[in-house]
Every structure is written in structure tokens, then in C-alpha cells.
Structure 1
């Protein structure tokens, strides 16, 4: 290799990559915790170093140039290599202290993880826990989190995963809603009721068909992306919602709509990157999560 050809700054390449992915200097600056002017200077410096134009102004926005599109794939490869280097280095740590980031859905983060964090604080006070509550999946390979609690089996081959439970969710509503809109004696009776959806509506409808419930968009007068908003709307009597039994059964403001319905099946998986599994503090938290959710 001719090392003299490595004549640009990786931080500038990273600024280019994030700007291309985010689509604007402002969004990229926010993601990298930089000022917009600093990020702009880094991109301009990279353009000067390489002797190319990476972005063009289009009105109030920017658009990546054809040569920028060619180069971005090489920068992505560099980013993956840098990420693997960071993961491998972290995997050598033997300290039972430091930060561990856990990502989970809003519902799991709010209703199930607090007691787990309390347990970790008692067992290993040197470990700091950051909870990333998000309903879309974080990319563990890009270090968006160290460990994930998921309700599906991940498909990526470079992840370590442990299935910890098979559980069930159910339909919940307030007593007043059930009284005013029922009776609901069979699953088909629910097809005439109002629901509060969470997340992708089409996926929500399709996911209920195997249980004999054929809903349409007319059943959903209220939709949200947030589990918190969804659950509060249900508790305010605005429709039927779905929640894991371990959460819904504890809430006295609602009850199961169908007593005879066996439930909606789902599994819980604890997931981490395979190289992070050799890190002592992350391995410790991983194992404790497996025990807790089992």
C-alpha cells in the first residue's frame, strides 16, 4: 500500500458521510454534535483535499453530486471498518464500570426497565445505564446501542441473541368504553369497534388477521407512533388498544375486552453485537437482562 495516498482527515470523511445520509448540513451537525458552520467547513476542506465537489446547492437545500455518490460507498466501507475497530477495542475491557446503553420500545423502557435498572444499581453501582426508548430498531452494528430488548428475532448473523420468553398481549379498553360499545363476546365482534393504532397502520391491521380479526382503516379514528400516547388514549376511553399482559393487567384503569381471547403471541429477545459480548460490563448487563426477562 502507498500510504502517501492517505491524504485526508477521517473526521472530514465522517462529516461527508453523515451529511449525505441526513440530507442537510443542519441535520448532520445535530447528529455529530457540531455547529453547522463547523460541519460545513469540514466538508469543504474534504472537497479541497480531494479536488472534487461533493454537494451542490439546490435552493435552500443541498444535493450530493454524481462524484459524491461514487465516493460515498468507499466512505461507508471506511465507517464500517472504524466501527469494527471500536467494537473490538471495547470488547477487551474487563472493568465492571462505565456506560452501557440499552435500547427498547417505549412500553418496555417505561414499564419494565425501571426495576431492572434499580437491580443493576444495587449489584454494580459502577455501571451507568442509558436507556434509548425508541419504537424503531436501533442498529447495534453502528453502535446506536450496546444491547437491545426486542420482540422479534434479529436476522443479522453478527449479533448475539438470547430468546428469554414467550409472552402474550391482549386487547384492552376502559370499562365505560366496553359498556358503551359492546357487548364483545367473540373476536369478530371487535370488527365494529374503534381502535387506537400504534406504528404502521397497515402492518397493525395485517398482524391481527391471523387471530381472526379483520379490521379496516375505518376502525381507526386515532393513530399514533408513540406507545405512551397510544396507551393514554386507551385509558381515556377513546378506543381499544393492545398491550402486553404483564403491563395491561397491572393497570386498573383498563380491562381485557375479551375474557375468552387467549392473546396475541410474541417473544422477547436480548440482543448484542458479538464483539461486545466479550466486554465484561456489557456481558454482565446482558446476562442480567436475560435473567430478568426470563
Structure 2
């Protein structure tokens, strides 16, 4: 066979593989960090290229056809081979040197990044990482950072983004504080609660009242100008704090308050398009994409 004449689109094969493993286009799109229509077009293009139907719709899910099942074994083997190539290539990471700047919110910088950077030190000790801990949106186009962890999808054409997780936040307090405070069983009970404030407390109050929580300035006896300090104030028993559920559930000194109240927000990895040709940035990007979901999900 003349291998120079063989053409194959691995993106289409990967779209098929992940869709088969996840059981639906929507779940596969989330896993791959792409839109459902884009994923659907890739699967359809592969079906057209091969001249077979790979999936049948059953209810809200998808099941493999006979042809899809036969192809699945081959594509899974290709996926395992691709992973092996990646592992082999990662051996070269020891030789890659240079600086990579990561910007993330203050709470993510102090909670999520330390264990990830510990892994990076083993993988690529020649890479120096600068953490820009800030709740402000840094401009990646002006190289204020190489990689950003954001809670909004990038809308600039020169940036690429990958949805890596869905995070959830909630109220937390120490058992001692809850024993001393008025009982909090419903959102209405927050009218008598003590809550740790945030730097932009007017917007914080507006966000809470917009969700039907009857709070005023009087509910905030302490205001912290950074989220990590806000969290430490809650851990010290000064009132209710708001933070990621993954962080709160892992803290034995804190207790969830009003579990039905949940703040949902996506977690995106964002970088300039030159990421694709920058080995050291790519190594950090891949490690973040691989490890962030497990750390975020409680």
C-alpha cells in the first residue's frame, strides 16, 4: 500500500470515539470542550466518508449500529496508540525550558494550582511558572499571561478556549458559628445571618438579593478585599462564606449551609492561538486540562 495516498481525519475519529463512549452528542461535546453542532458535523462527515451509519438514536441517547461497533474497536486502538505517542513525547518535557504565566482568580490560584504545579515540577522541571492571582480579566493578546483560567468563554478571535469543568459554589460556615447564630433553614433566614463580605460588596449584595435572599449591608460585619481572606474569615467562625463546593466539602472545619442554594459557573482554559506551536505552553495547558476537572468536582 502507498501510505502517501491514505488520508485520515483523526478529529472525526475522535469525535466518533468520544460520542460512543459518552452515549450522546451533548455529553461528548462537553467532554471535548466543543459545541454540539460542531461535534455532530464531524460525526456526520465521518459517516459520509465511510458510507455507513454509525449511530442510531434511542430516546435522548445514541447507540452504535453494527458498523459502528465494528469500527469502534479500531478507533479505540487508534486512541490508545495516540495516548502512547503522547506519553512517549512527554519524555521530552524534561528538556523544555522557559517561562509560562498563568492567570487565575485568587481562590483558584491558592486552591487549585499548587497541586497541579507540583506535578508540573516532576514532568517539566525546566519550566518556570509565574502565577498571576487576580480576579481581573488579564489581556492574553498583550501577553499579560500565557494561559488563563476563566469563568467565561473567550470571545476574541485570536484566543482559543476549552471548557474543562462546571464549578459550583455555596454557603459554608463553621459548626461553632452555626450553633451560636440564628437557625438558617431557608433563604428567608439569611435576613438575620452574618455573612463575610467581598471587596465589591454592593454587587455581591445585589447578586444575592437578585436570587431572592433578603440581605442588606447590615448582614456583613466583616468585609475582605480578597477571596482567600474572605474564606479564612469564614473558617475562623466570623460568618457565612461563599466558595467553591469542591473546596468547602474538602474542609472538615466547615459545614454546608442551605445546600439548595448553588452558584454555577463554567471553567474555561484560555490561551492565544500560538499555544499550538509553543511546546512549553502546550505542556502546561494539557496538564491543566487533564487535572482541573477532578480537583474542581467534589
- How far apart are 1:262 and its partner, in Å? 4.9
The structure-2 alpha-carbon separation of the partners of 1:156 and 1:162, relative to structure 1 and needing over 3 Å to count, comes to same
Matched, 1:135 2:135: yes
Residue aligning to 2:282: 283
Matched, 1:173 2:209: no
2:191·2:213 contact (CA, 8 Å) conserved in 1?
A: yes
Matched, 1:237 2:229: no
- How far apart are 1:245 and its partner, in Å? 0.9
- How far apart are 1:146 and its partner, in Å? 0.6
Distance of 1:273 and 1:206 partners within structure 2: 34
The structure-2 alpha-carbon separation of the partners of 1:184 and 1:157, relative to structure 1 and needing over 3 Å to count, comes to same
Residue aligning to 1:144: 144
Unaligned runs of at least 5 residues, structure 2:
1-92, 294-298
Residue aligning to 1:252: 252
> Structure 1 segments of 4 or more deviating over 3 A?
none
- How far apart are 1:228 and its partner, in Å? 2.1
Distance of 1:206 and 1:163 partners within structure 2: 28
Matched, 1:226 2:226: yes
The structure-2 alpha-carbon separation of the partners of 1:154 and 1:220, relative to structure 1 and needing over 3 Å to count, comes to farther
Unaligned runs of at least 5 residues, structure 1:
1-93
* Partner secondary structure for residue 202 of structure 1: helix
- How far apart are 1:209 and its partner, in Å? 3.7
Residue aligning to 1:109: 109
1:205·1:214 contact (CA, 8 Å) conserved in 2?
A: no
Residue aligning to 2:213: 213
- How far apart are 1:149 and its partner, in Å? 0.9
1:106·1:134 contact (CA, 8 Å) conserved in 2?
A: yes
Distance of 1:214 and 1:274 partners within structure 2: 45
2:187·2:214 contact (CA, 8 Å) conserved in 1?
A: no
The structure-2 alpha-carbon separation of the partners of 1:162 and 1:173, relative to structure 1 and needing over 3 Å to count, comes to same
Greater displacement, 199-208 / 102-111: 199-208
